[in-house]
């Protein structure tokens, strides 16, 4: 036979306090769960039954009770300062990890030709502090794996290096960083854009990319509002797919303004439509310099024919293959996914489109200027940026 479930003793004041926590609507869900654990245990409920009632595993229940025995109710309910989930890894830290993954381990003095995730993580742990990323000295392999999967990088495959590695990776990366270095000189020490002297041609610098396949997903029943059993909104696992849309977007690296275009596809036709949007937005006679990846639609014949009708208007600076992390709009997309797209439910594709546009409008109410800081110290600002105007290819 199993042991009888032991209990903890609570005073009336302690029980009243814990019951108040379970009814609160402005505290973290984990605090509510921990308060319920203590109340159930005070009623003599077993650990397994408590775990089943509050919806967590028994180890978490045991940890809460252990903290109660060590330091009382406050110790059980709240994490000590500095504990809990670490701050999210920054885009600069991700850029450094991806840059390492795009190089061979043999170049760092190792015997292997390609990385394993264990070896790459070990190298990151050893070198992060010297590179100025102290927090990464304790990063876990699973986190490294997630970062590389998001960037579609497979450092453990020979084929990745033999076929997909851009032979001009370093030169192209240097060229993009040169754009950011020259751009940084246009701001004063307080981060304010220095007005143009007016005696030269204005160059507007933008970071552009597409985010295809944004899914319009509908629920099959209404969300449940918080109640005594649930501290957050709840929904069932049933949903309907209503199709996808593609987001074409750029951020003005001088003003922070975000410029969106949402369409069903992102072919050359939609890309040209976006270029026309930019052409109509900025004063005639100014140059528009765009940092972007070398996707086929960006250099297609259809795109080139359009650009031939407005010679000198656009300049393109292409990131290297597997170097999309150099494109600052990626950071904006990541932020947008976390803040708005995650868990979104709509009734139609049109509603999804409207909500994405609304997100951009809200972002532009208080625009944030994106600044690149990583690896700019070695860039000579006097160098000339190599740009491409995409002339029409001559037939052989």
Instruction: Report the pLDDT averaged over residues 319-344.
Output: 85
What are the tokens at 46? 């077993």
What are the tokens at 256? 């922070």
Instruction: Report the pLDDT averaged over residues 49-65.
Output: 88
DSSP result, 15-27 = HHHHHHHHH-SSS
CB-based contact 319:292 (threshold 8 Å): yes
164 pLDDT tier (thresholds 50, 70, 90): low
What confidence tens digit (pLDDT) does each residue in 187-240 have?
A: 887 778 887 766 678 999 999 999 999 999 888 777 666 666 655 556 656 778
DSSP result, 142-156 = HHHHHHHHHTT--TT
57 pLDDT tier (thresholds 50, 70, 90): confident
The alpha carbon of residue 355 and the mean position of all alpha carbons in its chain are separated, in whole angstroms, by 19
pLDDT of residue 2: 41
Higher-pLDDT residue of 87 and 292 is: 292
Phi-psi region of 213 (alpha: psi -120 to 50; beta: other; left: phi over 0): left
Instruction: Report the pLDDT averaged over residues 333-354.
Output: 90
d(Cα 165, Cα 320) in Å, to the nearest integer? 9
335 pLDDT tier (thresholds 50, 70, 90): confident
d(Cα 224, Cα 233) in Å, to the nearest integer? 6
What are the tokens at 69? 């025995």
d(Cα 311, Cα 188) in Å, to the nearest integer? 33
Tell me, yes or no, if the pTM score tops 0.85.
Answer: no
What confidence tens digit (pLDDT) does each residue in 97-131 have?
A: 888 888 888 889 999 888 999 999 999 989 988 88
pLDDT of residue 361: 95
What confidence tens digit (pLDDT) does each residue in 35-45 have?
A: 999 999 998 89
Percentage of the residues of the chain whose pLDDT score is greater than 90: 34
Instruction: Report the pLDDT averaged over residues 330-349.
Output: 88
CB-based contact 271:248 (threshold 8 Å): yes
- Is 122 strand, coil or helix? helix
CB-based contact 259:249 (threshold 8 Å): yes
The partner residues of 206 in beta bridges, in order of sequence, read: 252, 290
What confidence tens digit (pLDDT) does each residue in 235-285 have?
A: 656 778 899 999 999 999 999 999 999 999 999 999 999 999 999 999 999
CB-based contact 193:204 (threshold 8 Å): no
Phi-psi region of 390 (alpha: psi -120 to 50; beta: other; left: phi over 0): left
Identify which of 380, 316, 376 has the alpha carbon closest to the alpha carbon of residue 180.
Answer: 376
């Amino acid at each position: 036979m199993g042991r009888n479930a032991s209990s903890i003793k609570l005073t009336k004041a302690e029980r009243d306090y814990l019951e108040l926590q379970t009814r609160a609507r402005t505290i973290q869900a984990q605090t509510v769960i921990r308060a319920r654990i203590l109340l159930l245990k005070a009623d003599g409920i077993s650990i397994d039954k408590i775990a089943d009632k509050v919806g967590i595993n028994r180890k978490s229940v045991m940890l809460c009770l252990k903290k109660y025995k060590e330091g009382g109710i406050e110790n059980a309910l709240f994490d000590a300062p500095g504990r809990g989930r670490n701050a999210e890894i920054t885009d600069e830290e991700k850029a450094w990890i991806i840059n390492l993954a795009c190089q061979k381990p043999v170049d760092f003095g190792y015997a292997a030709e390609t990385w394993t995730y264990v070896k790459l993580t070990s190298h990151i742990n050893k070198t992060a502090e010297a590179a100025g990323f102290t927090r990464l000295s304790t990063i876990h392999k699973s986190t490294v794996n997630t970062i590389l999967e998001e960037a579609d990088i497979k450092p453990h495959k020979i084929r990745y290096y033999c076929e997909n590695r851009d032979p001009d990776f370093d030169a192209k990366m240097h060229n993009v960083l040169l754009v950011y270095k020259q751009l940084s000189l246009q701001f004063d020490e307080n981060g304010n854009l220095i007005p143009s002297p007016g005696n030269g041609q204005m160059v507007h610098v933008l970071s552009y990319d597409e985010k295809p396949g944004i899914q319009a997903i509908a629920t099959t029943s209404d969300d449940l509002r918080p109640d005594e059993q649930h501290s957050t909104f709840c929904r069932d696992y049933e949903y309907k797919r209503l199709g996808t849309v593609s987001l074409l977007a750029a951020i003005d690296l001088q003003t922070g303004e975000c410029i969106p275009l949402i369409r069903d596809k992102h072919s050359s036709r939609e890309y040209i439509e976006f270029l026309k949007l930019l052409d109509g937005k900025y004063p005639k006679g100014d140059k528009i310099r765009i940092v972007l990846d070398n996707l086929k639609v960006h250099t297609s014949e259809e795109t080139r024919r359009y650009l031939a009708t407005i010679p000198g208007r656009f300049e393109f600076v292409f990131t290297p293959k597997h170097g999309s992390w150099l494109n600052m709009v990626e950071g904006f997309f990541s932020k947008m996914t976390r803040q708005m797209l995650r868990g979104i439910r709509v009734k139609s594709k049109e509603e999804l489109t409207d909500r994405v546009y609304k997100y951009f409008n809200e972002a532009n109410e208080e625009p944030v200027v994106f600044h690149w800081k990583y690896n700019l110290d070695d860039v000579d600002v006097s160098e000339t940026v190599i740009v491409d105007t995409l002339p029409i290819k001559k037939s052989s």
